[in-house]
Structure 1
Amino acid sequence: MKKAAIISVGNELINGSCYDSNSEWLKEKLIDLNFELSLSMKLPDEHWALAEALDYASRFSDICIITGGLGPTKDDITRDALSVWTGRPLVYKDSLFAHIESYFQKRRRRMSEINSVQAYIPEGSQPLLNNNGTAPGIKISSGSFAVYSLPGVPSEMKAMFEQHIAPEISGQAFADRRVLKVFGLGESSVAELLGDMMDRGANPEINCTVKEYVITLSFLARAGSKEAEDLLSNSVDKAKSLLGEYVYADEDISLPEAAVRRLLDAGKTVTTAESCTGGLIAKLLTDVPGSSGCFQIGWVSYSNEAKSERLGVCPDTLKQYGAVSEQTVREMAENALKISAADFSVSVSGVAGPSGGTEQKPVGTVYICVASKEKCVVRKLFYPGGRKGCRLRAALTGIDVLRREFL
């Protein structure tokens, strides 16, 4: 399997003033193209640092993708770094200058003299045209190691990757890939359940990544071998058996999308009644295209008054048990079901923090209820670690209980 490195250039990435979304996006794209990520690093605006990093990356990688440092100002050092690394001088390209000039003319803007520096690339390199900005990309090789340099602006970078790089490297890695999506288990629990299947050097190889509480297991095997294909299929089936209901999909889709698909396939509808999640469950479900076929209506009843007036929660229930209780979320779900006439309802109430917790109900305490006409399932959960994380985990868990218990 071929290996890829990602290098992001910019002082703003080092000091934390700008989030490096490019690396995350590129990582997912490269994995989809069956590349193994060998390293990912962030570098300051220093040409020597990038030149040394390329030396290092070339020892472990087949390709490297650089983002950033291709602008027209003095802190844009990628061109100089590529020149230093390869020992090739920068040369002026009339065709690149014309392309940059055309970009300004089409937008009826005056081209600054400083932009002419972007028409310089290392001798023997290949320009990658940018139709959405002024910074051309650069492809340059040293032996079998290929380097692709792209602008740091995410929209420009993504378009150029899809136009220039993906078609070129597609199929180079010679591997088959399957995925399993897992929710409700930690990474260590998954590793424990799968045991020696996750050993380094196992065939197929299993890579585990975690993002927003969802685990993606990537199963990778060499293509062109019937034996390897059989091993891949057997490995995926074994993992599904070991992980059981925690596996929500055997393709690269989100948990809400998996739930929406099941609702649509079953011809069923859902409604939501939310407190601490503030409508997040409804948002996650309706982010999925086609969800209008299964999502009816959602309530955000943040105050006790709203819970009583809009959802019919008994004031005595709130007084005796509190808003964060099994009794309250049960009434929220059951009443939302009656009002909407949906097939299922999902309700949630909790203490997301940072304040509001008590000894009996500390910050992170969440109650979730999923109901149908036939049954009602309540879960008491504890999600400490911050307001944002608590809300997201609660919302995803509500959707997951719906998937597991009712669909």
Structure 2
Amino acid sequence: MLPRLLPLFITLISLPAFAFELQTDEQGDLVQWRKAVSFVVDEALAAKLGANEARDAVTGLVAEIRNAVPGLPFDARVGALSDGAVGYQAGRENTNAVVAVADWPYAPSNLAVTLTTLNARTNEILDTDILFNVSGHLLSILPGHETHYDRGFDFQNALTHEVGHALGLAHNDADEGLVMFSSTFPGELSKRTLKQDDRDGLATLYGAGLPATNTNASVAGSNSRLGAEGEEGPVAGCSATGAMPMLLVGLLGLLRNRRRAASAVVAAGAMFAGSTALAAEPARPELQKADAVALARVLDRTSATHPTTPGLIYTRLTLSTSSCLKGSCDDLGSVVVWGGRVGDIEQVVSHEPVPATGAEVLVIRTGRVVSVQPAPAKNSNPVVGPLQTATH
């Protein structure tokens, strides 16, 4: 749930409307860190990017965040990650990890996803892990003085955007120059630098330092997602709003085989799908490539901690298909997605909580990967010529 910030009430203080957007839980309450935030970029990823260049990129990120919100204790470094670094376990030391996934279990168009763990009772962010798709997209560190389209997506550019998500910012399509604008392209460097609206969003969350109590700030507005474009159109998709791919095989493989991750390259939070154009949204690549697409209603959902990987929560959704829009939808009656709530612990993939019972959803299957997203607006057609949705 990533609504646009309209009237914002924090401890009964009314603030004016802003263009920036903030993340909320499924109840509409802001989610924030209440302790120092520190990220570890996997040293295997740094080695693939160039160790010195990667450290410089991380140093640049830290300086940018600290300059924007001096009251937020923030740090990031390159370092070794232990087995099971992705996910969250209460009572144990957890790491905010930035990692690469070579055997990508999400939709191929996704550049990266973010896994966020919350305390659902207090709305505190407890842990965030950023994962990059390095099987389908080239990630590198570009020279800061020029643009190199043939060297793919800039790591620092992407990481700054994703850390914005990890700190509680949502997508903002008010201006394509913003760090939190929901689109990128190969060679882009502008997202390395926070713009005033990005800074205003962070200042709203942390301008007075770390919040000590739950603000329970309700936010009204609309959803959003982030996208990536190539020279001939969109080539990399953010895990679109609500996308929670079925990755029980791929991600568990990552967690159980950390030593093999040295052959991978990078990872970093939910970003890059859609278009850089504000006027019109092109056909979504995940719909174009899908084997099956259906509109459905959630009849039931059951969440649990994964038995062999206790740091991860998954949810089984029981669905009733109302309309099969593409391919064969017979196998979409029951799907498993990452995320959900067990006790007070809630995990969210791509900044969108698992759909509630009764929710109308769009189900997309591409090979063995299934994603579940909020259904398009009733006055839009998700499948017309090139498959499209009408909402960001």
Relative contact order, CA 8 A, sep 6+: which one is greater?
2
Which protein has the larger Cα radius of gyration, Structure 1 or Structure 2?
A: 1
* TM, length-normalised to structure 2: 0.23
* TM, length-normalised to structure 1: 0.23
